[in-house]
Structures are given as structure tokens and as C-alpha cells.
Amino acid sequence: MALTIVGLSKTYPNGVKALNDITLSIGNNMFGLLGPNGAGKSTLMRTIATLQDPDAGSISLDGINVLKHKKEVRKILGYLPQEFGVYPKISALDLLDHLAVLKGVASASERKSIVEALLHQTNLWDARKKAVATYSNGMRQRFGIAQALLANPRLIIVDEPTAGLDPAERNRFLNLLSSIGRDRTVILSTHIVDDVRQLCPRMAIIASGQLLLEGAPLEVIAALHGHIWSKIATTDDELRALEAEFQILSTYLIGGQHAVRIYSESDPGQGFRAVDSSLEDVYFLQLSRDRKPLPVN
């Protein structure tokens, strides 16, 4: 599968430029689209899912013009929106069956086997007779995956699926995504760096509607090797002094003290020690460059 996005731009009527000339290629496997809230991720996901039109640019999916041939694209696409919306008071089994009818699976026996397989795959078999309205967040998200998989799509888009899940449900959900990502393309949009680190062989970072970086997590992490430095600020005054002097990527509390991480080409002195680079460092560095351009080293 090949999804090619070229020069995609979208400005909403209120003047917000949600997408600014995005060009991106997405191949097989799991692709992570990482960005803070308001970055333009949902706008991009909805546009790929044929639910809204851009002002400019093109999208092609295996040679199909996505913006023109929406019906064709919808046949091979599964979409789990950020807000799944209404949760009816009917059982997961009946709802999936109904959605399968809407997807055009006419044969009742075929629907039965598809729906049952999906309920097993998403670990909802035991809860299949419960109303979807009574499901927990995690169960709803898994149900969302089941409905997205109904027509056996080649491309699945999941928008911010792990927000609001507790750690156990999040883990279960990531495992489910990883298993469905083995034989199809999954685009995972998220603001959670760990989702991408755990799941995605390729990724992109977007912020303010712009593509900041595209690559493989392992490679972009390796590219910062030797450039990430950390030290503990023992007092608030020391923290403020460091903030004034350095461009701080992140500050973590460890035992009530601030562990500060910075990017520096060479040893910054002052007790900083080199530490392993992480995907969070990559992310925060890109975001800080988005806010204020760094001098080119």
C-alpha cells in the first residue's frame, strides 16, 4: 500500500491554518503521526478519510485519487475518529452486524463469521451482548477498531485512540493495534510519544500544520546521540538560571528534584552529563525549533 500526500493545505473559515503544505509518503506497516493538540492531526486524518476537503494539494492511495474517488477509497479504508460519537443502547454484536450491513456485507452467514471473528480479535467476545453504551473507554476503543476492520480495509486510520485509557487498557489497545498493523497500513495519530515509540517503524512529527520531521524512530533517536545532556537542578533558583542560559528540552521531577535535559552539540559544562537520547528528546527538540528557530550548527 502506498499513500502519497503532496502539498496539502487547509485554512478554516476562522483563519486557522490547520495544514500548511504537508507532503508525506506512507507505506505499509504502522505509521505514527505525532504532534501536540491543535497540530492539525485530526484535520489531516479526516482529509485522508475523505470526510473533508483541503484547499490545495493531492492525496493518492495506491494510485487512486483520494480527493476525487471518495467512494472507492471508503471501501478500502477503516477509520476510528477521535470522537466516536453516539454509543447506542444496543449490543456490540447487533451494532457490528448492523454496521456490516451498511458496509455492504449482504449475506447473513458471512456477516456472522466476520462479526464473531472481530469480537474475538478485539477481546470483546465475553461482552458481546452488553450495550455499547455501557462499555468502558478501553472497550469502546476496541469496539471502534472492530468497526474500523469490518470491511477488511487495507488502510486504517486511528485518531488519538489512547487518550483517556488507563495503563492496562492502553497496553491492551496498543497490542491490538500492533497485531492489526502486521498485514495492513495503520496510521496512528497521537500526542503521546510512547505510543509511537512502542508501535511505529516510521513516523512524522507535525505542529502548527507543518511537517517538522519524518523518519524511523530508531534513526531519529540515534541522530541525537551524544547531543543530549542532563543534570539535576537542586534548587528552583538553579532551575531558573539554567532556563535562562540553555534551551531546555524537558524537565522531569525525580524525587522532588528537577532533572533537566538540554540539546547541545558539545559538552555544556556546569555539571551536565551526556545521556542516551530518547524519542521525547527528538519530539521536544522539533517542537522548540517550531516555536523559535535555532541557529544552524
Binding site for ligand ADP (CB under 6 A): 12, 14, 16, 18, 35, 37-43
Shortest Å distance, C-beta 115 to ligand ADP: 30
Of the two residues 5 and 39, which places its CB atom closer to ligand ADP in the complex?
39
Residue 46 or 128 with smaller CB distance to ligand ADP? 46
| Cβ distance to ligand ADP smaller for residue 12 or 252 | 12
Cα distances (Å, whole numbers) of residue 127 to 62, 92, 248, 288: 37, 8, 47, 45
- For ligand ADP, give the closer residue by CB, 45 or 124: 45
Give whole-number Cα distances, 70 to 13, 49, 132, 223, 250, in Å: 23, 8, 29, 39, 42
**H or E element at residue 289:** helix 279-291
Q: Which helix (H) or strand (E) holds 57?
A: strand 56-61
The per-residue DSSP string of 157-177 comes to EEESTTTT--HHHHHHHHHHH
Alpha-carbon span 184 to 78, nearest angstrom = 11
Closest to 236 measured CA to CA, from 224, 251, 225, 220: 251
CB of 36 to ligand ADP, least distance (A): 7
Q: How far is the CB of 130 from ligand ADP (least distance, A)?
A: 30
Nearest distance in Å: CB 190, ligand ADP: 10
CB of 41 to ligand ADP, least distance (A): 3
Q: Which is nearer to ligand ADP, 213 or 232 (CB)?
A: 213
